[in-house]
């Protein structure tokens, strides 16, 4: 299982790459492996307001649809439109196939997330 | 309630199958991935543990009459060692279960039913048997079943048997066949749209035969691909395309319902339904975006006209397709409808539900 340094991780197996007041968001290698073949991704629109804890995207694998919950409050700056045509990129390169870029409303919400070391330990416990 | 295990359980665990609860059994949904397993069956061969399926023996002088009364298809046309797909209906014409009927002799039949329905079916059969001179026996817990499916199924199994598998025609069976010395009932039947065999074994022999097939390089297949394969071939699944709320005529199963033949339970109701015209129809849909899952509403003229029964991004066809049970007046091929996918209404078109051309050896 691949875990990258310098990212923040959620307990829902998502990663955030924080640069200034923006965060790039995706799911981890562990998550894509659990989901299996991803066949469709439903993303929000640019400028959509995100509310921490609310569904904002859906990942469809062959067997089921999985809701993706917003990890922070913010505004959608950009969505990865490549995923419309190539959702399988999320299986092939989970850390490359980002889903959205978010302008953060409250950077202090990032404090609760794990670093790479803590996330590795977290995944081992999930096994 | 603890989940039951099939005789293949240990092999599923060592092959790292992702286990789920299915009809009270702990069974693998997948081993290496649904899409990969799906393609293995379409292009080569795959092995399914379907030991959870139920088996009921019917013996006695009136076995033929009993089974003919129980199910909708023409049982009397069967010869010894022939197999028939059919449904059994309630008096009102809705479906108790779909099943395979094996005729061994005219006083010995073997019925194969869905795992989730075994108790309900056996109770129903026992009640219907009151006026017939027959003995019923639910042997579900003594019988293991493996399905070997795919274009290479015959080639692989041929190496393990001492008779010519070509002798077993489509929807026929061989009793007391020997697979490397192990006694088995082998039929050329399946639930994938490919050529292949269903193999019934004594519980104690099943893992041995499973392991021998896997050692030959046959890919084990989980329940996930079992569903995508049967769906592409438009083979119904109880609780989805047929149920106690759906009759076989609206589910598109008329060819398995012989209304001009002997009487059977539900026939009267179905004759009436046919005369009045069915109100709903099972159709194929191609969805423009996203995936239409079971239960999603189908909409036209601003009203709900039906629901999705099964839907996937089809691994073989590559498109997002679904089966839907809708108001018949909207059911014409080429019609445009909408599918409610979460908050959005997604355009869809009615297409033939023969998504995949079955590849049977007939």
In a domain, B202, yes or no: yes
Check CB contact under 8 Å for A42 and B342: yes
What pTM did the predictor assign?
Answer: 0.94
| pLDDT tens-place string over residues B26-35 | 999 999 999 9
Q: Which of B143, B153, B128, B175 is nearest to B53 (CA)?
A: B143
> Is residue B25 a contact partner of residue B5, using CB atoms and an 8 Å limit?
yes
In a domain, B114, yes or no: no
Residue A30 has pLDDT above 70, yes or no: yes
User: Are residues B162 and B13 part of one domain?
Assistant: yes
Q: Chain B contacts of A60, Cβ < 8 Å?
A: 290-291, 313
Chain B residues in contact with chain A using a Cβ-Cβ cutoff of 8 Å: 29-30, 33-35, 224, 228, 289-291, 293, 312-313, 315, 320, 342
**Which chain B residue lies closest to A32 (C-alpha atoms)?**
B33
Percentage of the residues of chain A whose pLDDT score is greater than 70:
99
Check CB contact under 8 Å for B342 and A37: no
Q: Which of B58, B139, B138 is nearest to B101 (CA)?
A: B58
**Which chain A residue lies closest to B31 (C-alpha atoms)?**
A36
Check CB contact under 8 Å for A42 and B224: no
Which token pair is B264?
């059977």
- Compute the half-sphere exposure of residue B331: CA atoms within 13 Å on the CB side of its CA: 21
Residue A126 has pLDDT above 90, yes or no: no
Nearest-CA distance A18 → chain B (Å): 30
Q: Measure the CA–CA gap between B173 and B82, rounded to whole angstroms.
A: 6
Q: B97: exposed, middle or buried (C-beta count within 10 Å: 0-12, 13-18, 19+)?
A: buried
Packing angle of the helix pair B223-232, B34-43 (nearest 10 deg): 50
User: Are residues B228 and B151 part of one domain?
Assistant: yes
Residue A63 has pLDDT above 90, yes or no: no
| pLDDT tens-place string over residues A73-117 | 999 999 999 999 999 999 999 999 999 999 999 999 999 999 999
Residue B2 has a pLDDT of 86
In a domain, B273, yes or no: no
Residue B111 has pLDDT above 70, yes or no: yes
Q: Chain B contacts of A40, Cβ < 8 Å?
A: 289-291, 313, 320
Residue B362 has a pLDDT of 81
Check CB contact under 8 Å for A36 and B30: yes
- Residue range(s) defining the domain that contains residue B298: 279-362
Check CB contact under 8 Å for B224 and A62: yes
User: Are residues B294 and B175 part of one domain?
Assistant: no
A63 touches chain B (CB under 8 A): yes
Q: Chain B contacts of A58, Cβ < 8 Å?
A: 342
Nearest-CA distance B107 → chain A (Å): 43
Nearest-CA distance A59 → chain B (Å): 10
Residue B66 has a pLDDT of 98
Mean pLDDT of chain B: 97
Nearest-CA distance B154 → chain A (Å): 29
* Chain-centre distance for alpha carbon B278: 23
Q: How many domains does chain B have?
A: 2
In a domain, B31, yes or no: yes
* Helix or strand holding residue B55 (H, E): strand B54-59
Percentage of the residues of chain B whose pLDDT score is greater than 70:
100
Q: Chain B contacts of A37, Cβ < 8 Å?
A: 33-35
**Which chain B residue lies closest to A43 (C-alpha atoms)?**
B290
Q: Chain B contacts of A41, Cβ < 8 Å?
A: none
| pLDDT tens-place string over residues B233-270 | 999 999 999 999 999 999 999 999 999 999 999 999 99
A63 closest CB neighbour out of B224, B289, B342? B224
Q: Measure the CA–CA gap between B154 and B165, rounded to whole angstroms.
A: 7
| pLDDT tens-place string over residues B155-187 | 999 999 999 999 999 999 999 999 999 999 999
The arrangement of strands across the sheet holding A38-42 comes to: A38-42, A55-61, A65-69
Reported confidence tier of residue B1, pLDDT bands at 50, 70, 90: low
Packing angle of the helix pair B63-70, B118-128 (nearest 10 deg): 120
User: Are residues B204 and B147 part of one domain?
Assistant: yes
Q: Measure the CA–CA gap between A21 and A44, rounded to whole angstroms.
A: 20
A-to-B residue pairs, Cβ atoms closer than 8 angstroms: 35
User: Are residues B193 and B44 part of one domain?
Assistant: yes
Check CB contact under 8 Å for B293 and A65: yes
Which token pair is B43?
């292009």
In a domain, B131, yes or no: no
User: Are residues B298 and B177 part of one domain?
Assistant: no
B291 closest CB neighbour out of A36, A37, A40? A40
**Domain CATH for B299:** 2.40.30.110
Q: Chain A contacts of B290, Cβ < 8 Å?
A: 40, 42, 60
Please report the ipTM that was assigned to this predicted complex: 0.82
Reported confidence tier of residue B136, pLDDT bands at 50, 70, 90: very high
User: Are residues B150 and B38 part of one domain?
Assistant: yes
- CATH says A8-126 is which class? mainly beta
Alpha-carbon dihedral B61, B62, B64, B68, rounded to 10 degrees: 180
Residue B187 has a pLDDT of 98
| pLDDT tens-place string over residues B336-361 | 999 999 989 999 999 999 999 999 98
In a domain, B355, yes or no: yes
Q: What angle is formed at CA A123 by the lines to CA A120 and CA A124, rounded to 5 degrees? A: 90
Nearest-CA distance A105 → chain B (Å): 25
* Residues 6 or more apart whose Cβ sits within 8 Å of residue B343: none
User: Are residues B184 and B36 part of one domain?
Assistant: yes
Residue B302 has pLDDT above 90, yes or no: yes
């Amino acid at each position: 299982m691949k875990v990258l340094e310098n990212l923040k991780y959620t307990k829902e197996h998502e990663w955030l790459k924080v640069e200034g007041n923006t965060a790039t968001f995706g799911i981890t290698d562990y998550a894509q492996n659990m989901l299996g073949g991803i066949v469709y991704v439903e993303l929000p629109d640019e400028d959509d307001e995100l509310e921490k804890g609310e569904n904002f995207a859906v990942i469809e694998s062959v067997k089921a649809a999985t809701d993706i919950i917003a990890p922070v409050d913010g505004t959608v700056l950009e969505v990865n439109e490549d995923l419309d045509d190539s959702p399988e990129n999320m299986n092939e390169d989970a850390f490359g196939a980002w889903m959205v870029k978010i302008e953060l409303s409250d950077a202090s919400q990032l404090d609760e997330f794990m670093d790479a070391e803590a996330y590795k330990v977290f995944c081992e416990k999930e096994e | 309630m603890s989940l039951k295990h099939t005789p293949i359980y240990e092999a599923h665990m060592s092959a790292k199958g992702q286990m789920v609860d299915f009809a009270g059994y702990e069974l693998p949904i997948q081993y290496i991935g649904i899409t990969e397993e799906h393609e293995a069956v379409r292009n080569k061969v795959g092995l399914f543990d379907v030991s959870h399926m139920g088996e009921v023996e019917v013996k006695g002088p009136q076995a033929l009459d009993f089974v003919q009364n129980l199910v909708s298809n023409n049982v009397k046309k069967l010869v010894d060692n022939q197999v028939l797909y059919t449904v059994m209906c309630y008096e009102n014409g809705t479906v108790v279960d779909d099943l395979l009927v094996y005729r061994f002799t005219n006083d010995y039949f073997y019925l194969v039913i869905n795992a989730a329905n075994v108790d309900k079916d056996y109770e129903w059969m026992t009640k219907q048997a009151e006026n017939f001179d027959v003995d019923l026996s639910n042997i579900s817990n003594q019988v293991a079943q493996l399905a070997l499916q795919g274009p290479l199924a015959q080639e692989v199994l041929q190496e393990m048997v001492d008779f010519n598998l070509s002798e077993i025609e489509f929807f026929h069976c061989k009793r007391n066949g020997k697979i490397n010395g192990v006694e088995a009932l082998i039929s050329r039947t399946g639930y994938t749209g490919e050529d292949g065999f269903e193999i019934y074994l004594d519980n104690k022999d099943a893992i041995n035969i499973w392991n021998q097939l896997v050692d030959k390089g046959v890919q084990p297949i989980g329940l996930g691909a079992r569903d995508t394969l049967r769906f592409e071939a438009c083979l119904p699944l109880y609780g989805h395309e047929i149920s106690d709320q759906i009759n076989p005529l609206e589910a598109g199963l008329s060819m398995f319902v012989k209304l001009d033949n002997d009487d059977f339970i539900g026939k009267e109701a179905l004759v009436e339904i046919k005369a009045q015209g069915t109100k709903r129809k099972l159709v194929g849909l191609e969805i423009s975006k996203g995936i239409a899952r079971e239960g999603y509403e189908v909409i036209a003229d601003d009203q709900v006209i039906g629901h999705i029964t099964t839907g996937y991004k089809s691994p073989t066809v590559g498109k997002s397709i679904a089966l839907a049970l809708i108001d018949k007046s909207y059911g014409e091929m080429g019609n445009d409808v909408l599918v409610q996918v979460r908050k959005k209404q997604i355009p869809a078109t009615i297409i033939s539900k023969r998504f995949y051309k079955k590849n049977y050896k007939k």
